[in-house]
Amino acid sequence: MESANISSECGGYRDNQTEPRVTERMDTAGYLFHSIIPDEEAVPVLMSVFVLLTLFSFVVNMCTLYSIERSDDLSWQPRFILCENLIVSDLLQTATFGPAVIYSLVRRQTMAFNPWCYLQYMVGTASIFSSLSTITSMALERYLYVCFALRYLVIVTQMRLRIVLIFIWVYSISIGIISMALLLHNGKEENNHHVTMGLLCEPDVMEQHMGSPRPSAIFRKLFGSCTLLLCLLAHAFSYFKMSQHPSNAVLPFYMWNHTARKTVMFYCGMLFLQLLPLLIKVTSDALWEFRGTGVIELSSQSQGGSKPTPSATAAGFHVSLLIMLLVPPCINPLVYGLRSAEIRKALADLLRLRTDNRVAAEPPREMIRLRNIAHNDLAEAG
């Protein structure tokens, strides 16, 4: 009896200790959330923005992917195979970022630090690097198609294209794994409440929570800057050569091809919009000299208190960055997919085929009317 009483008392002590700990963690998460978004009226607006961007990205990417896969004329072409790879990367990015931010907004709490944070960090990093590498490959593929039209099929073979795709994913996943390994090896969790200071476990939030280890930050920012620079150089080279190619051709009037120039300008504008989040991120990293962006900066009012909070500038930068991370997955299928006349035609053919099959499966209205009349006549005769 005494041992039973002792064990019950111990069990009650554990329950009493666990419940306040969970309550304190939830209070801390809510406190940090309201320090990031102090205006309660802004929460439904942000929630609507993230829901619309997430749904739009899923719908447009899935429609584009479905059109390419069901078309025998498009599924084998290198241009659209790279487009499929870009869509897969964008879907991973949307699925990793969108629902997590919406969940934090619904609960009015920041992200809890758990294994899902590590998965967000690694998958998000790999998907961003994969998208960046894929659009770089797409620019080089278009350069080969325009400037080496006669030798295009000899240069861009299925085997080489498969090697490029394998390299893109091996490179992207390796960046994510190495960044995570450096973060775990050199970082140490400093927050006893197991709550992060952001709505998403993005790199700056993770590094701040793990004590801001320099090796992980330097590796991630160095490879991110190099990959972004390589992407910009590849696009500049490819678009410059493609815009010059029509003017160098033997034409009757030797004049500049205005259609080619407009096309190049359009893709350059879309590229800038797609890379805007990464450009801002790399610029902020350079200004902070690898010490982290403003997301981990603490406000002067909270540095002496028990609960540190992000500054107003850092909070605004964090929320803006989360919104911009969902913009490229919405733009990519429109620029590289649905803007193509081939994909629009393939999608229209698929929709028309489904409509024709459904109409063919249904009996004609006149036949239904005659059958009903005959049935009524038989009923009256009986």
Structure confidence at residue 54 (pLDDT): 95
Do residues 50 and 102 touch, judged by C-beta distance below 8 A?
A: yes
pLDDT category at 287 given cuts 50, 70, 90 is low
pLDDT at 264 over 50: yes
pLDDT at 268 over 60: yes
What is the sign, positive or negative, of the torsion defined by CA atoms of 35, 36, 39, 44?
negative
pLDDT category at 269 given cuts 50, 70, 90 is confident
Q: How is residue 62 written in tokens?
A: 């899935």
Do residues 276 and 269 touch, judged by C-beta distance below 8 A?
A: no
Answer with the residue of higher pLDDT: 33 or 365.
33
* C-alpha span between 100 and 206 (Å, rounded): 15
Q: Provide mean pLDDT across the span 354-371.
A: 53
Residue 319, judged by CB atoms within 10 A of its CB (0-12, 13-18, 19+), counts as buried
* C-alpha span between 286 and 347 (Å, rounded): 44
Structure confidence at residue 110 (pLDDT): 86
Instruction: Give the best-scoring range by mean pLDDT among 108-117, 258-267, 358-367.
Output: 108-117
What lies within 8 Å, CB to CB, of 365 at 6+ separation is none
Q: Provide mean pLDDT across the span 101-126.
A: 88
* C-alpha span between 177 and 130 (Å, rounded): 14
pLDDT at 123 over 60: yes
Structure confidence at residue 292 (pLDDT): 42
pLDDT category at 293 given cuts 50, 70, 90 is very low
Q: Provide mean pLDDT across the span 273-291.
A: 67
pTM to 2 decimal places: 0.77
Do residues 183 and 207 touch, judged by C-beta distance below 8 A?
A: yes
Do residues 346 and 68 touch, judged by C-beta distance below 8 A?
A: yes
The one-letter amino acid code at 123 reads V
Where do the DSSP E strands lie in the chain? none
Q: Provide mean pLDDT across the span 138-151.
A: 87
Averaged pLDDT of the chain: 76
pLDDT category at 271 given cuts 50, 70, 90 is confident
Do residues 227 and 132 touch, judged by C-beta distance below 8 A?
A: yes
The upper half-sphere exposure of residue 382, i.e. CA atoms within 13 Å in the direction of its Cβ, equals: 6
Answer with the residue of higher pLDDT: 199 or 373.
199
Q: Provide mean pLDDT across the span 351-359.
A: 59
Answer with the residue of higher pLDDT: 338 or 329.
329
In 3-state terms, what secondary structure has residue 310?
A: strand
> Which domains does the chain possess?
2-339 (1.20.1070.10)
pLDDT at 297 over 50: no
Do residues 113 and 193 touch, judged by C-beta distance below 8 A?
A: no
pLDDT at 371 over 90: no
Closest C-alpha to 67, from 263, 329, 354, 274? 354
Structure confidence at residue 316 (pLDDT): 77
